[in-house]
Structure 1
């Protein structure tokens, strides 16, 4: 009997306890996508109050929501699990199981906000977990942020990274045995790098370079390659990346290869070597054509960087707008700022200077509480021109902006080919990709009209409206009409 038949039998009996046994922890990862979808459909037939009494069912629904990128729904089931945990008797077997379930879900959550991070720390610090977590759950490279990656994106904790480390380091041996130090130091090194403390970052990253876990080794080597760009006497980034690729192959880390290739592409873009970038882009455009999941954020932003480097500014702007919306649904200030900073460059190169300034200011608002510098500085000369214009207009006495400008100027000299406009680069307004008919449909949709109302207003067939809407969503990189309107308004198309 397959799992769906078992669940139907339990539903006929009206037994939520039997359903909970069928969907025990670990089942979610062992069944295929079609079976998971079937399980979720059956669970949704149960009354909400009944679901909320069964931790296994809540965990299953939350994991499914995060997998689909439905963050608010996942958070809702996560809160139910946390409440069940708090209600369980101290030192009981039920409490221990719920501790593990809440930790697992928190660690796999695509974003980590303040309350969620504190919940993870409380569980780890106060209650011993009997089962070690898998490396991927705390990996900075496997699609989910580690505990410290979440910590560094909190205003107070981000400023006091040493306090974060002192709390987290003693606990990591419970989760990762001998690899805890590597996880912690790789994350702290990244934090120091973003704050432009290059020398300190180079010291902190050392522990991750000997990690047996490929995810931790990847994070450390990637950070080392970034750090070594500033030291002519150090091992060149190209050599580090080649060694990283060889090690990933030897360790059979196939799940990291996509991110590894994207990492290499970023370095090629910096050096102005665009032919391999073009080849990579042709391959990944089809591979990521429909992907808009938070775990693909690194690949999608790398793709946008490739668009900018190759002069496809409109493509970059529309893709980054979509990714920014995706990241803003959760708490991802550093990643969101990275999208906005690159988007500002794309808009500027398209001739939309006011929109570029707007995006740059939004990015600075996100990063100022943490003192992040390199998210801007590593974009070189194109970013420097935007920063200097902003500084000259109304922020001449801003020490944070002055520090960013100084670091950006240094990097612009180090990587002069970064984002240098190609000879045949685009110089068209953002809206040019839409036809007049598509613009008309989009404006009416933006007014809140239905497809039938749009068809009547434009005197066209309903099927034609749907055809135009499909084209609009494709050109703007939107998943639905609401997102298409939001992107169009942000880009001032409508």
Structure 2
């Protein structure tokens, strides 16, 4: 007799899509959705990729099974449509009123477990729902997970980094609450959050001690999501302190764990983190490869679980000289993040917007965007968030202090950003910045060269002598370290001048 193959959950995204397509074709969509997304653990990417099938469900089906409103609310939150997400939660609450009394606790758990990960939920309501779950013994909550992007974000939506200053003061209460929510992995969750807080304050060594000390405990609990965040934080600390060679073995270790546990939803953030290491090292070929073939596509629906990857993608756009598309993406994210409780990601967006403005010599707007970032960063003590941008941040802060004066906070950022810059002089340096700048006349000569014009034709158009055009051409060759016109034109296209 054949042995029954044991299914491992969460299922891979491709397998879920195959199952959903077959169910839709055979008219079995509702029972299959209930089986795969209610009865078993599922990954967020699998839910996201199945969104078209959920949207085929009728209102009557959702009223009969109110937990499905929870999935629809999650999908709406993933796209940043928070009003729509709220409406689904309200619909679920309404539907629960018509359910049998014996199901009251179960359905209240569904509502609370959904609301605690919604960005629109206030902190007071969040805590009220959390303590209700604890009081009724409905913990640990399966879908209350650490994000792949920030240790303090639950399910990629809520950001608790702003409460970092209270972590040590209220350690016992916080630890007890987290352990009840997360189960045995709770102590490790607290240690990771504390490590992130210490890292942001620039106590990198203590952060590293905390995170490396808790990794063996997490491995014992076999909690892949917590382990990923711990290893990713360890990797980031090593990278910004000049230890990018240590990133390679960690990436291999994390990929091995993901493969063994099936948590493929972590791959996107891991790929982005690996690409960020390449950005710091100035490995442009790897940056371009990730940007063109691996990075998430923002030209369709923005998937909020990939915010970390989008933020890395903005940096890649900057590093490859694609300032216009970088600006478009940062504005898209900013609009969505302003709606939710995401101060760290919003601060990062303002900072990256300032970097883009700095690169295109829009100083006034650079000051405006940098001021927004500094306002949030100073309030939340996000020192490393800004300082990790290296030389570019140091130069912006220098200009900012020259205009607005110095203070202790910007002095710290200047100091630490300069240290990162010394480790990584090529970070955020676009291709054009590797060459001595051309004068406006030289740029005009290069553009006309690119149109195939001779020196005499260029001279006629610019109203100059042919000898003068030759002089400017030779200057271009010297600055570009090339020997002829075609090489100069090719390089001009490569670095974005043409």
Give yes or no for TM over 0.5: yes
Distance change >3 Å, CA 412–CA 279, structure 1 → 2: same
What corresponds to 2:246 in structure 1?
236
Cα distance, 1:400 vs structure 2: 2.0
Structure 1 residues 395 and 171: alpha-carbon distance in aligned structure 2, compared to 1, 3 A threshold: same
Pairwise mapping of residues 212-231 of structure 1 onto structure 2 (< 5 A)?
212-229=222-239
Rg comparison, structure with higher value: 2
**Separation of aligned partners in 1, 2:244 and 2:320:** 30
Q: Could you say if the C-alpha distance between residues 382 and 234 of structure 1 is closer, same or farther in structure 2, counting changes exceeding 3 Å? A: closer
The total of aligned residue pairs comes to 400
Corresponding position of 2:209? 203
* 1:281-306, Cα deviation, whole Å (9 max, x unpaired): 11036755424121121111111111
Aligned to 2:443: none
5 Å matches for 1:320-339?
320-339=330-349
Once the two structures are TM-superposed, the CA of residue 170 in structure 1 deviates from its matched residue by 1.8
For structure 2, which runs of at least 5 residues remain unmatched after alignment? 1-22, 438-498
Maintained 8 Å contact 1:148/1:187: no
In the alignment, the residues of structure 2 paired with residue 233 and residue 251 of structure 1 have an alpha-carbon distance, to the nearest angstrom, of: 28
Instruction: Label 1:257 to 1:25 Cα distance change in 2 as closer, same or farther (>3 A).
Output: closer
1:432 counterpart residue number: none
SS in 1 for 2:426: coil
Quote the Cα distance in structure 2 between the aligned partners of 1:300 and 1:213. 26
In 2 relative to 1, CA 208–255 (structure 1 residues): closer, same or farther, beyond 3 Å?
A: farther
Is 1:314 paired with 2:324?
yes
Are the equivalent residues in 2 in contact too, given 1:111–1:330 (CA < 8 A)? yes
* CA contact 2:54–2:72 (8 Å) conserved in 1: no
Q: Does 1:69 align with 2:80?
A: yes
| Residues 94/352 of structure 1: CA separation in 2 closer, same or farther (3 Å cut) | same
Asked if structure 2 preserves the Cα contact closer than 8 Å seen for 1:148 and 1:188, the reply is no
TM-score (norm 2): 0.69
List gaps (5 residues or longer) in structure 1. 9-20, 428-494
Partner of 1:162: 168
TM-score by length of 1: 0.69
Assess, with a 3 A threshold, how the Cα gap between structure 1 residues 113 and 226 changes in structure 2: closer, same or farther. Answer: farther
Matches within 5 A, 1:30-429: 32-39=50-57, 42-43=58-59, 56=67, 59=70, 61-78=72-89, 94=103, 96-109=105-118, 113-129=122-138, 132-134=140-142, 137-141=144-148, 145-146=153-154, 150=158, 152-154=160-162, 157-163=163-169, 165-206=171-212, 208-210=214-216, 211=218, 212-229=222-239, 236-284=246-294, 287-396=297-406, 398-423=407-432
The alignment yields a C-alpha RMSD, in angstroms, of 4.1
Q: Which segment drifts farther, 215-224 or 25-34?
A: 25-34
The change in CA–CA distance for 1:385 and 1:240 in structure 2 (over 3 A counts) is: same
Which range moves more in the overlay, 384-393 or 239-248?
A: 239-248
Instruction: State the shift of 1:116 in Å.
Output: 4.2
Q: How does 1:441-456 map to 2 (within 5 A)?
A: none
